[in-house]
Structure 1
Amino acid sequence: MSQLISGQRHGWTADQELVIKALQRSKKSLNTADTEELGDYLRAMPEESLSGVVSNVKGIYHEFLIRRAENADKDEVRAQVFEATNHPGADIEFTIDGALVREVQAKAVQSPQAIFAHFEAYPDTDVLATSEVTEILKGAFGDKVSDSGFRNESLTRETEDTFADIMGDRRVLDFVEDGVLTSPLLTAAVAARGILNGAPPSKDDIREMLELAGVAVATGYAVEIVLDLL
């Protein structure tokens, strides 16, 4: 755990460095924090708040990945994340020779609700979304929604793993997944699907819902948990 030493950057992968920068950007008081201070911040946080922090930081991490990918492709287009985290409607601007050519909102999400809400508020601002939700939308918004090339499930796992390394323990992983499994919204959605289908939800139905919620189902254990909650 040498990377946890205050101020030391050796040992972090390039992607972990971006997650760390995203965590620093997520809150003004963390802007200049080193990894030891970030670890103190996360360890002091109530467990019920960790999943929200993971979600927020994952979104910023997604923005950084889009910027890095665009600026690494050696074309004339440059990407920049807006300085303000609450910039109206958009997260990233694309320029050519300093001239603005496009502004986009980055969405690291599993379901399309956030996309719908965005276009209700900002109908003229395009979206770069994670692969899972663009697959669900199937081109419903035409060229207004594009695949960013990143998967929400991967971004979530990379954020959680980096948090766990910063904290020096794995409770963030356990808590975030447990929170999804016991979510009333998830179990209600599974039950509703069964009602609509006129039959109790099958294990395959539950597995699909868990995967859409970002839970990697390697065994039947998670499926059995949701069955017990119905």
Structure 2
Amino acid sequence: MEIVPNDVFDAVRRGYADLEAASVDEITAYFDRIDASEALGHSNHIKGILFEQEYVEALETAGIGASLFEATNHPGTDVLVFGGAEAVSEIQLKATDSVSYVTAAMQEDPEIAFAVTTEVAAQMSSQVVIDTGIENAALESAVADTLFQEAVSPFGIFSLARLFFGIPF
């Protein structure tokens, strides 16, 4: 599944009430004004929303009913999965390549199902997680290439955050 710029713009519209009805040019202008020191936080927020949207789309393409909660900050879980007309499962998604970040979240909520990026799923074979088939690197690239070209170094905004601050994304 390819992540296209319109998917990123849809994630922005979902995650920023001020930009819900904004055009592509208005969204681009908004993020052009973002201070470079704030770009990482915005990128991470958008990446998480984009991941949710892409996963629901992948489930629906596979014939599995799924939906997002109305609020992007729904407590505990991110996606509802349906069996017929009834919700049968709630899943929390983690858009990261950090196994320790996911493991810590799983310890906090052991009753919740976790769906993770392909990079994390490959490293967590001994633990039960759902491999979404979506790469963290693809999410990062889509967000950075679409919105933060000016704020991104040749090393990438997410790579620098991990390198210098140990921030798990």
**Where does 1:79-158 land on structure 2 (aligned, <5 Å)?**
79-139=66-126, 141-142=127-128, 145-158=129-142
CA distance in 2, matches of 1:92, 1:48: 30
Residues 137 and 109 of structure 1: CA distance in aligned 2, closer, same or farther (over 3 Å):
same
| Structure 2 unmatched ranges of 5 or more | none
| Structure 1 unmatched ranges of 5 or more | 1-12, 165-169, 187-212, 215-230
CA distance in 1, matches of 2:160, 2:105: 27
Deviation at 1:15, TM superposition (A): 2.4
Q: Deviations over 1:115-136 (max 9, x none)?
A: 1232233221111100111122
Does the aligned pair in 2 maintain the 1:94–1:102 contact within 8 Å? Answer: yes
Q: Deviations over 1:113-158 (max 9, x none)?
A: 321232233221111100111122222x23xx11110110111111
Q: Secondary structure at the match of 2:152?
A: helix
From 136, 153, 158, the equivalent of 1:174 is 153
Residues 179 and 61 of structure 1: CA distance in aligned 2, closer, same or farther (over 3 Å):
closer
Aligned length: 166
Q: Secondary structure at the match of 1:173?
A: coil
- TM-score, structure 1 normalization: 0.65
Deviation at 1:179, TM superposition (A): 6.8
Does the aligned pair in 1 maintain the 2:67–2:80 contact within 8 Å? Answer: yes
Residues 149 and 173 of structure 1: CA distance in aligned 2, closer, same or farther (over 3 Å):
same
RMSD after superposition: 2.3
Q: Which has the higher contact order (CA 8 A, sep 6+)?
A: 2
CA distance in 1, matches of 2:53, 2:160: 29
Residues 184 and 174 of structure 1: CA distance in aligned 2, closer, same or farther (over 3 Å):
closer
Which protein is richer in helix relative to its size?
1
Give identity over the alignment, percent.
25
Structure number with greater Rg is 1
Does the aligned pair in 1 maintain the 2:56–2:66 contact within 8 Å? Answer: yes
- TM-score, structure 2 normalization: 0.86
Q: Give the AA of the match of 1:153.
A: A
Is 1:66 aligned with 2:55?
yes
Q: Secondary structure at the match of 2:134?
A: coil
Residues 52 and 136 of structure 1: CA distance in aligned 2, closer, same or farther (over 3 Å):
same
